[in-house]
Every structure is written in C-alpha cells, then in structure tokens.
Structure 1
Amino acid sequence: MGNFGIRRSYLAGTSLLALTAGLLSVPTTAARAQESASNSGDMVLEEITVTSRRRSESLQSVPAAVTAFSSQTIEDAGIERPSDFVALTPNVTLVETQNAGSSFIVIRGVSQARNSEPSVAVIIDGVQQVNPAQFNQELFDIEQIEVLKGPQGALYGRNAIGGAIVVTTKQPSDEIEGKVKVGMDSGPGYKAQASISGPVGQSDTLKFRLAGSFMDTDGYINNEYLDEEADPYKDFSLRGMLTWQASERFQMDLRGSMSELRTQAFYYNIVGDVNDTSLPVRVNNAGQNDRDMYTLSLRMNYDADWGTFTSVSAYDKLEEILTGDAFNFLPIEESFFNDFLGFDMNQSQYLDVEAWSQELRLTSNSDQRLRWIVGTYFIGTDRYISTGNMVDTGQGVFPVYREPSTNPLNPQATFLADSQDNFAWAVFGDVTYDITEDLEIDLSLRYDHDKREQTTLTPTQYLPNVPGFPAGATGDVRDRSFSEWQPKVTLRYNVSDDVSLYAGYSTGFRSGGFNQTGVGAVAFSNGIVGVNDIFEAEVAKTFEAGVKSSLMDRMMTLNASVFTTKSENSYFFVFLAANSTQNLGNVPEARLTGFELEGTLRPMAGLDLNFGLGYTDSKIKDFENPAYIGNEVPVLSRYTLNLGAQYHWDITDDVRGIMRVDYQRIGKTFWDVENSTVRRPVDLVDARIGVEWNDWSLTAWARNLFDERYNAEYSPGGFVFKAKPARYGIELSKRF
C-alpha cells in the first residue's frame, strides 16, 4: 500500500503537470488580440523581480517552485510574522510553539525540530541567519519575501535542505521619507511601528534607514489557576541601515538590528488525544520566556567590467531563558510528582549562541550567454545550553543559567549543560548557459564541511548513570565532522514568451550534531529507539519538474510542479521528561512525493484572486523499529490549500476602499514516527477591510475569524500547546 500511495501521488502530480502544460501550449493569439483591445494597464498583474538565484530575474522565469510577496502584497495581506506568509504558500506549514524561539517550518515534508539545525536557509538582506531561533520574529519595513521549495544547498549550503526564504528589507531612499503605524488588538494590546529614511545631511552618497517595532499585548489564552493570561507578549525590535556609494563601482552597506522579547512558556496540557482542546491551562508558575537577539553585518560590492565582487561579514548573538512548570503542568497539589514523591517540579532552559560568518562571492554580468557565480563561505559558532528540573516548593520558579541552582526555594533535581564549538566552511559555483534562445541549462555545485566539538559541562553528580552505558564525566569532549557535496542541475525550456517548462535534480544537506551528554542512555532506559548522544547528518535527493505561465494578456499566472525526494537520516524529536531534555533522532530513510499548483487572476480591475494547493505523500522506508516502516514522517501535513480574494475600489476621488479575505486549510498532520497522534484538518480564515486617503490608511482586521480551536503543537508524551483563538484589531498608518 505504501509504494502504491507514493506511485499514485507521483502519477497524479505528473498528470496534473502534463495537463497544465498541454492546456498552456494551445495557441491563444486570437483571444489575446480580442482581450488586448479591452484590457487597460490596471488589468495586468505586476511583474515581480526576485533574487533567489543571487541574480535579479522575473519570478515567472525562475526554473524553481518559488512563491513571492511584494511590498504591496505584504501590506495588503497584513504580513507581520512568518506565519502570515507561510499561510499563503502551498506545501509549507509552520508549527508555532509556546517557546517564542522555536517555530518549525516544514516544506514538502522536510521538517525542523526543537534544538535542531534549521531545515530552511533564511537570508535577510543577503545575510544568512545562523540560528533557527532567529526566524520567528516581527516582520516590519519589508520590501519582499521569497519562498523557494526544494533543496537549495548548491547556492545556500548546509541547512537549505528543505528550501530557502529570502527576505529583503526596504532600502535607504534618495529623499527623506517615512511611515508611522499604530494599532490595537483584542488582547487587549497595542503596537507601534515607524520608519524613516533618506540622505545623511546633504550627501548624495551616504544614506540611512531606521525602522522600529513595538508590540505589547496581555495575551489570548487564559491560565485558569492564576486567573491571568498565559501568553502575554512584549516585543521591541530596531533595525538600522547605512549605505555609502563610495564611487561608481564601490558600495558599502552597514546593517544592525536588535530584538528584545518578553513572554511566558511551559503552559502545556497533557492529553490522550491531540484533537482535545477542552482542557484549560492550569499551571501554578507563570514562568518566563526572554529572548534577546543582536545582529551586525557589513556588505561590500565592487562592480568590475566582468561582474561584481561581494563580501558579506556578519556577527550574530542570541540569548534565551525559559522557565516554567514541568510535567504534568498542573498545580502542586494536583501534580503527578506530588502524588508519588510528595513534591512538584518546575524547569529551566538557557541558550546562548554567538556566530561569526564571512562570505566572498564573484558574480558575472547577467547580460551574457554564459553566466557564473563562484564563492566561499565560513562560519564559526559558539553555543551553550543548559536544561534542568528543580523542586517546586510553591515559591515560584527561578532561572538557572550556567550553574545548578543552590536556591533553597528552588533546589536543583536534574541538570545538564554542554558547550559546542563549531566551524564550517564551503566552496560553491554556479554556471548558467543559454544553449539556444529558448533552452537554458544551470549547473551548480557546493561542498560543505562542518566540524563540531562538544564539551560536557554537567557536574558529575548530575550525569545520567544507566547500567550498560559508559558513565560520562565533566570536561569530556566529543568531536565529529560532517561534509557533503551538493550538486544541482536544471533545464529550462521556453515554450513561448509566456510559458516555460523546467526539470532538475538537486541534493540538500543538514549537519548532524550532539544531543546533551547521556541522552542516549536515558532514551534506551525509557524504551525509545533512534535517539543517541550523536544524531547523523541528513541528506535529501530531489527530482523536480514544473511549468510556469502567464495567461490572458498577463491577467493570470498559473504554475505547477511535481517532486520526489529520497531523505536519508531525517530528524525526529523526542522529549525526555526524566531530565527535561529536547532530543533528536534519525529516520534512516524516507520517501516524499507530491505536487504544487498555484495561481493568481485579475478578472476585473481592482479584483485579485489567488490560490495554492500542495500535496505530499510520505513513507518511512527504514527504521530501527520495523513496526514504523511504512508510516508517515513526523510533523507532516498531508496537504495545504489556500484561497484568497482582494478588492480595491474608489469610494470618492480621494478615498479608496480595500477588502481582503484569505482561507487556509491544513490537512491532517502526523506528529510522531509511530503515527499514533494525527491532528484533524484545520480551517482558518483571515479578513481585512480598510480605507486609504492621501497618505493615510485605516484598517480593521481579524485573524482566525471563526475562532477555530485546535492544538498548534504536539510533543511526544502527550504535550499539547493551544493555538491562538480569534483575534481582532484596528490599525492606522501615515506616510510622509
């Protein structure tokens, strides 16, 4: 049945692709001639230029499955967080957790887990993020977002195994300009965002841009025991950019950003059914989730006659502390531990990451038949993590950083701490050649080498001691290297000026690493297979084909793609309540097969329609426990569907109305390798209505309009986290 299901989905996708290509190849000259006579300029869909292949090119000409959002779409759709644009992208889902620093993006079944390397490369203004905890943040003053599906390791390296997300912020302007936006929501809460940009003084060569965002809300999920909201949220973010055009050929960009987030964590429910949302939150410790992030980067471009030399240097710093209740997340008098041991537990986790990276790249001119890119990349990362349980005496929970607690109000019960010193380097190249005017071949190759060293900092008395496993010791050092060649080859053929076909093969790679010392022994003693102190690197090999088209005098776009991926050593997540550790295991082999179909249509002036459908069929082909062979891979939603409609109209000569509705359906989701927990499909509706006049706009909005109740996350052991209920708000903005 498993192989039949994969073949069936592959044949369905291939048939869909063939049908789409066949329909698109039918001559439409007469229809175009008739339509052209009546179509005005405002009927033509805007052309989006993307840079996902490190060059500027039309979205419809890129031989890859890419979903892009322009600055106008970002504003009209109210995109302010990653979950907002993910909801509009087929075959992409985002698992939001109550830990603000952990959100798991899943593309075509390639998923991320807690404390794992990212499954997707995230590039902001040309700088690749180094830690997955950086991804889930406020998006403000954004020019464009591009989502590439399928392995992108040939260009972006390790951890682009599922795809890449390219975010471009707004650039400094030639004249002073800015924007202010304020709003309120049903938390209750409020937000304020502002940006200002222009030349420095009277300079023609030195420009700046400064943007900031502040949000403060009481929250939406009630803690019944403490009679307060469990999820208050306060975020302050600031970003600055300085560009200097030193000469006609040389330009420098200096960018810096900071983000301070304050919220709460660890208010799970323990349920037997992942679809059960009836239990209220009843933790006696509100806990904390504090995250501070800082980035600084310098990009230099030198334009020579043959092309461009680019240097990108970056520094990243992230620090996060989590505290709160522990299993089973109930008041002391009702807790599991209190019933059997006479006391309750709480927990703390501390994460501290610093990274330095450098990329050097040579890019040929784009206006030639043979185009090429060569480069090298280096990154050094220092990472420290500690986790532990403390005895809950009813006096609250206190954060634990680098040393076990000695506080008599919160004595330490378990404690694990490790530091990692990682260094990775890569070399890469890309060649694109126009064989004919209509046929293009693109060849890419990248080699990544990642060396990791972990030092055990856990005091000896806290190290797990399981018979049959060697006892660890404070100061133990483990090291391991992971490396991989990542090739990519793509052919593109232009059927006409408006229709193109493409097909290709690519390999993606995600580094392996270390669970905390002693985890393998604890997992074994709890009967869990596939989890060891070291988890292996993951490799994905993908075949893909697609068609892209602009139809009806470019009033419509219709794109389709099919893919099949062989995944080796994909990650899965296991939480060990015995020592509050978050751990990774490997699925030796899995197969992922599916398709995407998406399009946009402007049937009349002012009305825009969009849709996207993605489907992924997965099967575990090899596993230590043979009972799991044939199961779906974990954290996979079988399909996604998104539909949207937006209408602009003139109320008066000076006032314009706008209305938008977006619908998203997330198919049933498999959470673990056992497939014992399957969440039912989820249906979400977002809506916006507003008016614009002169440089002002006023908008009312709703998220999860019909108050769909579901659990956003499930962790092995029955831990569930409630998704946010319906939220409403209003915002006012002014440009100057």
Structure 2
Amino acid sequence: MTNLRTTLLLGTILVGNAFCSAAFAQDGGVSKNDDNIIVVTAQFREQNIQDIPASITAFDALTIEEAGLQETQDFVNLVPNLSLDDSFTYANTFVVVRGVTQVNNADSPLAIVIDGVPQNNQKQFKMDLFDIERIEVLKGPQGALYGRNAIGGAINIVTKQPTNDFEGKLSATIQNGIGLNANAALSGPIVEDKILFRIGGSYKYSDGLIRNIFVNEDVDFIDHDYSVRGKIQIIPSDSSNIDLRASYQNFQAGSSYDVPVRHNADPSIRNASVNDSIFSPNENIVGLTNGEVFDASLKWDVETQIGTVTGISSYTDLKEVYRADIDFSNQAFDPTFAGFAGLLGFFDSIGVFPTPPGTIGVGQGQDLNVELMSQEIRLVSPDDYTLRYILGGYFIHTNRGLRTRLFADQNGQREQIDNTALVFVESNESNSNNAWSIFGQLEFDISDSLTLQGALRYDEDLRKQTDVTSGLMRKDKFTSVQPKVTLTYDVNEDVLLYATYSTGFRSGGFNAPVVTFPTFRDETLTNYETGFKSEFADRRVRLNGSLFFANSKDFQFFFLDLATGQQIIQNLEDVDIWGFEADLQFSLTDTLSLNGGIGYTDTKIKAIGSQALIDGLNNAGVNTTSIIGNRTPKTTDWNANLGIQSEHQISDQIRAIFRVDYEYRGHKYWQIDNQDVQDPLHLVNLRGTLTNDNWSLAAFVKNLTNERYYTDFNPGEFLGLAVDLGFPSKPRIYGAEMTFRF
C-alpha cells in the first residue's frame, strides 16, 4: 500500500506540474539564453561533456542552485549506480560505485578531487556544497589519470573562481528540527586584472530529528558545523596563473546512534527484508563527534609552446574524536535480545575483562589524526594537436594515528573513557605511507571520426604501521601498473560511440595490530565498457548510456570485531561485476524540462579466498558454502531518478521555478551472506522558487512520504552479537531558503 500511495502521489504531482507548465508555455513563457553545453575538465583540459568517451554526470552552478543541491548526498542521489550511506560518526559515510564499496578507515573507491587537489581521507567526502561552480562524476576505473583509489571512478568538484568585479551572495535556510544552514561568498579584485580574491563560508546548526527513546533526546543534533574557504588568484602574465587556496572546517555533532534490530519474523528465521524492523535509538550513552579539517594548496599554471605545465602542492590536517555507546542499548532494555547482555557475557567468558560492579553496558571511543602532504606536476598538450598528450608525476605522504578504547559503562557518561580503571580494550596505532606515481596519456586522431586514446600509470605505495603500545612495526609495499585504452567513433556531430578497457587499483594495508586479521591485500579491477553519447532536436534531448563488465581481484570488504573493538578489512578473492546506466536530459518546451537516470549493477562473488577468513566466518555463524554467487556488501541492484522542472515568468523580472525529484533505490544487500536485504525505497523531493537577478525565495520538502529505512546495517553474525545493528535514516525534512545576490 505504501508503494501504491507513493506512486499515486508522485503521478498526481507530475501530471499537475506538467499541466501548469503547459498552460504557462501557451501564455508565452520566456526561455533562458542557454546553448545547453556543459564544459568539464575531467581529463585536465576543457571539453564538452559530450565529447568525452566516458560515463560522466555533471552539474553546473545553475543546476546546483535550482535543484537545491546543498550537500554531497543531494547530488549523489541523482547519479545512476552511485550511492552514499551515512554511518556511525558525523563525518563518516560509505560510498558505493558500480558495486565497489567504501571500507571504513581505508581508501575510497572514488578519487575525490576539489579544485585539482585530491581529498585522500574518507571523512572529506561529506560536505556542504557552498559556492560551487561545477560537479563532475566519472564512473569506471580512472586510475590512469587519477591514480590509486580511483578504482570505481572519480568526482571532480570545482569551486567558484575569484572575479575581476565585486560580487557576493548571502543565503540562509531554516528547516524543521530547528535547523539553520547559512552560507556567504564575496569576490573581487585586490589589484584589478592581476590579483583577485574570493572568500566563502557556511554555518550549520540543528536540534536534530531522530529521537533517542531512552534518554528522550534527539541524537542527530548538530551543535555547530562551520567552514570557511579563501582563494587568491595571481595573474603575473597572459600565460601564467597562480591559485592559493585554504579552508577550515570545525564541527561538533551527534554520533553513533545505531539501534539493535530484532526482526519481526520468527527469531529462528532471518527476515527477507530489514524494512519491517525499523526501531528508534535507545542507548544510554549519547554519542558525540568533534572534528576539524584544515586544507591549504598552491596551484600554478604556465602555458608553453608544448603545452600547459601545472603544479599542485597541498597539505591537509584532519582530526576526528568520537565517544559513544557500543552496546547501543541501556540497562532497562529487553534482556532477551539486548546487545550489551551478549557483549558483556562474551567478554566475561573469554576472560578479557572481569565486569566491575555497577556496570550497565559498554562504551567506545576513537581519536583519529591524519596529516597529508602531496605534490603533483603535469604537462597537458594544446587542444588542437593531432597527437594530444598528458604527462605527469604525483607524490603523497600520509601520517595517520588512531587510538581506540572500549570501557565499562557505569553512569552513561562519555567521560568514562578517560578512567583507565574502566578501560579494558585499548589499541593505539601509528601509520605512515609514502606513495608515488608517474602517468601519461596519448590521444591520436586516426581520422576525422576515429580517435584512439591510450594511458598508462605506475603506482607504488610503501606503508608502515607501528603499534604504539608494544613498539611492534610492520611494513609492506604495494605496486600496480594501470593501463587504459579507448577507441572513439564520431558517427556524426551529435552521436559518439566508444569502447574502453581500463584498470583500477586500491592499495592494501594494515588493520589494527590486535585483531584476528591484521592485514589486507590490495584490490585490482579490470573493466570492459562500451557506451554512447547522443544529442537530438537541436540539443533539446541528450541521451547517454554505457554497458560495463568488470572483474575484481581481492575485493575489499568491511566488518566489525567487537571483541577487540576494531574495524576489520578483508578480501574476497574473485568478484564479477556487470551492469549498465543511462542519463537523459530533455527540454520538452522552453519552460519545461526533464532529467533522469537509471542504473543496474549485478555483483557475483566467485571465490572467498583465504582459509583463515572462511574459518573465521564459519565460527561466527556465517554459512560460507552459500556465499559463492552472492552479491557484494552494500550493493544496490537498481536505482533510478526522475526530475521535472517547470519555469514560469511571473513578471518582467520574477520567475517561478517548480521542481519535483523522484528517486528509486532497489534491493540493497548489506553483507556477503545476502541474508539481510533492504526492500526498494521510493523517495520524493519537492522544491518551489521565486527568483530574479538579485534574490530568490524557495520552499522545499525532502523525503515527502517520510520513508523510514536504515542508511547502514550490520548483521549480528559480523559483529559477534545476537542482534543486528542499523543506522536510522533522517525523517521528512522541510524548510525555506532565502538568497541575496549582489
């Protein structure tokens, strides 16, 4: 019934919206002066998105504003075969692209690049999208140009550049949960035509929307989250350019409000879906995350006769500290399935920690410190060469420290973690790695309609881990050669066909020193892809699509070991992945447009791998004989989105924009046993805006039908618990936004 109601509601909205749009069009609506060309820099040079032989979804500044894309999750929801799941701490997310999954405290399957600077930590992807010029999402391995960890693709975010004229913007959003989100930007010349500046910032606050039913508080609160970003552009001559960029973010927010999940079905039979078992948080320790991120970079470009030479130097300092429950329960919770009862009993049984008198549960905390320094230099040939080339080198140094503690909970306070008498598990590790690479790409026009592109990259990653407590040191080196070959055929000026062979590499590394599986191997992916780009009806219709097959060796996946309080990464020996995706943009009239996408991903585990992993899973109650043929963790089979936007001229200066976005998320398979599956979701967002050149006023609703689901889910077999843990989603969000431009 829920799906039927959603479908009927969506149909009513779309039909009504289309009817109103048609009526306004008949009255002579005014169209925007737009040639419908999106220029991207995905291959380090400016190109029409339709000329690039790759699966790319892009959002320009106008689309970002009109669609109300305020944070990372907003644009991810509009990209086929891409998902982003909130989980655990405030800054923590799991991104999945074409079945390749993010793993906690490790390398992303996507290369995230902001203004040319790689963001090399998982905690840097979730962000507020303020003062953004363009977002480019490339799918499929991009290792040849973007290096390690671009195994699933790359996301290139370009912030707005300084301007030679003074301009500015102020925006504020108020939403339910007493939420406030404000941002501002100011740009102009310091020395006209020579030194320009741009500064922007954002601030976010919320009382929260997810209620802890034990302490009677909202646990997804945001005490504060503010960011500031500054850019200075120096133009010494017509052939040279220098960009200085720095940013700082500081946040404190609710954290780690997972809930114990008891399926409504017979406890002896695993329910086929987790959607029917949505519970509210009830832990007695209210989780809290504190963090700060500082970034600085220097980018310079010099045009020469043989091409543009670019250098990018960057530095990042990231800190995140959280304190939370780890039994996700309380002393009054039903003991027949309470997570903490089984957890404490397990610790007692193995003699790890004799439970002190008065203990009512178990708490946890981590202190994460990451420091990164990188340098890239590259040469990009002029665009008009018959043989075009890219040559470059890259180096990055990373220091990462992580301290983990589990403690006996006696009073529900986070500060107990500092009482050493209550701490019974402690891990303190220091990680260091130096990685470097060299890369090149050649592109040759065989004829006016046929182009051959070849690329090659060599990566080397030397990793070292030190157990601070014992002094034990481990080190290993991971290397990879990543080739890519693409053949492009221009059928005509509006239709392009391409076929690609590409590879990706994600480095291996070390789990915490005390865990059962101390190391994990590097992952390599080989991808075969064919696709098309097309435009019709004077560029009013744009349809792009691709079909891909990939094989992953040593596929990395993630689970928890609560006995040691650690997060574990391991490898599946052999995984096949195939699927397809398509994007559509259609300007039905001058005032009515449609955009949409559809994607399908099918992953199949062909071999598990190490006997130690098989034994460990069997001991945890996982039937490994049934895993072969299963889907990989956090994989969604189908996803689709449809957006309809209509524009109406209210007066000579004021336009009204109405937009509805529908998103379909198919079955989601949470772990390798495929026993916990989330049923499909239907999500609807609405937005209406009045705007002119100087101001805009918008009202919006996200998750109109108030769908309840889990954004992350960890089955008990992979936790060492008798219950599962789910991370609840946000309920319906609604509010208003006011923007001034000058």
TM-score, with length taken from structure 2: 0.88
For 1:296, the equivalent position in structure 2 comes to 296
1:134 aligned residue (116, 124, 130): 124
Q: Offset of 1:41 from its aligned partner?
A: 7.5
For 1:101, the equivalent position in structure 2 comes to 91
Letter in 2 for 1:286: V
Asked if 1:160 is matched to 2:150, the reply is: yes
Paired with 1:279 and 1:630, the residues of 2 have a C-alpha distance of: 31
Paired with 1:631 and 1:223, the residues of 2 have a C-alpha distance of: 35
For 2:204, the equivalent position in structure 1 comes to 215
What secondary structure does 2:78 align onto? coil
Distance 1:497 1:708, change over 3 A: same
For 1:639, the equivalent position in structure 2 comes to 638
Paired with 1:552 and 1:337, the residues of 2 have a C-alpha distance of: 62
For 1:721, the equivalent position in structure 2 comes to 727
Asked if 1:426 is matched to 2:419, the reply is: no
For 2:455, the equivalent position in structure 1 comes to 444
Paired with 2:314 and 2:29, the residues of 1 have a C-alpha distance of: 48
For 1:731, the equivalent position in structure 2 comes to 737
Structure 1 stretch displaced more, 149-158 or 108-117: 108-117
Paired with 1:223 and 1:132, the residues of 2 have a C-alpha distance of: 27
Distance 1:225 1:612, change over 3 A: same
**1:302-701 matched pairs, under 5 angstroms:** 302-331=302-331, 336-337=339-340, 340=345, 341=355, 343=359, 344-394=361-411, 396-398=413-415, 405-406=418-419, 411-458=422-469, 474-520=470-516, 532-624=517-609, 625-701=624-700
Q: What number of residue pairs does the alignment pair up?
A: 666
Paired with 2:165 and 2:331, the residues of 1 have a C-alpha distance of: 58
What secondary structure does 1:246 align onto? strand
**1:213-252 matched pairs, under 5 angstroms:** 213-233=202-222, 234-252=224-242
What secondary structure does 2:209 align onto? coil
Letter in 2 for 1:689: G
**Does the CA-based 8 Å contact 1:43-1:555 persist in structure 2?**
no
**Does the CA-based 8 Å contact 2:690-2:697 persist in structure 1?**
yes
Paired with 1:716 and 1:116, the residues of 2 have a C-alpha distance of: 21
**Does the CA-based 8 Å contact 1:115-1:583 persist in structure 2?**
no
Structure 1 stretch displaced more, 62-71 or 107-116: 107-116
**Does the CA-based 8 Å contact 2:488-2:498 persist in structure 1?**
yes
Paired with 2:693 and 2:242, the residues of 1 have a C-alpha distance of: 35
For 1:90, the equivalent position in structure 2 comes to 80
Q: Offset of 1:398 from its aligned partner?
A: 2.1
Paired with 1:289 and 1:226, the residues of 2 have a C-alpha distance of: 18
Q: Offset of 1:331 from its aligned partner?
A: 4.0
Letter in 2 for 1:310: T
For 2:7, the equivalent position in structure 1 comes to none
Q: Offset of 1:44 from its aligned partner?
A: 6.5
Deviations 1:443-479 (A, max 9, x none): 0000000000000123xxxxxxxxxxxxxxx001000
Paired with 1:186 and 1:407, the residues of 2 have a C-alpha distance of: 41
Q: Offset of 1:39 from its aligned partner?
A: 13
Q: Offset of 1:62 from its aligned partner?
A: 0.6
Q: Offset of 1:407 from its aligned partner?
A: 5.0
**Does the CA-based 8 Å contact 2:409-2:416 persist in structure 1?**
no
For 2:169, the equivalent position in structure 1 comes to 179
Paired with 1:399 and 1:196, the residues of 2 have a C-alpha distance of: 45
Letter in 2 for 1:572: F
**Does the CA-based 8 Å contact 2:489-2:498 persist in structure 1?**
yes
**Does the CA-based 8 Å contact 2:139-2:153 persist in structure 1?**
yes
**Does the CA-based 8 Å contact 2:278-2:709 persist in structure 1?**
no
Q: Offset of 1:509 from its aligned partner?
A: 0.2
**Does the CA-based 8 Å contact 1:45-1:555 persist in structure 2?**
no
Q: Offset of 1:45 from its aligned partner?
A: 5.7
For 2:6, the equivalent position in structure 1 comes to none
What secondary structure does 2:369 align onto? strand
What secondary structure does 1:398 align onto? helix
Paired with 1:93 and 1:118, the residues of 2 have a C-alpha distance of: 13
Q: Offset of 1:40 from its aligned partner?
A: 10
Unaligned runs of 5+ in 1: 1-37, 459-473, 521-531
Deviations 1:87-111 (A, max 9, x none): 1111111111141222111111011
Letter in 2 for 1:438: S
Deviations 1:417-455 (A, max 9, x none): 111010000000001111111111110000000000000
Paired with 2:69 and 2:75, the residues of 1 have a C-alpha distance of: 6
2:195 aligned residue (177, 200, 206): 206
Q: Offset of 1:693 from its aligned partner?
A: 2.9
Unaligned runs of 5+ in 2: 1-27, 264-273, 346-354, 610-623, 717-723
Q: Offset of 1:248 from its aligned partner?
A: 2.0
Q: Offset of 1:518 from its aligned partner?
A: 2.4
Paired with 1:663 and 1:362, the residues of 2 have a C-alpha distance of: 43
Q: Offset of 1:292 from its aligned partner?
A: 0.7
**1:32-43 matched pairs, under 5 angstroms:** 42=32
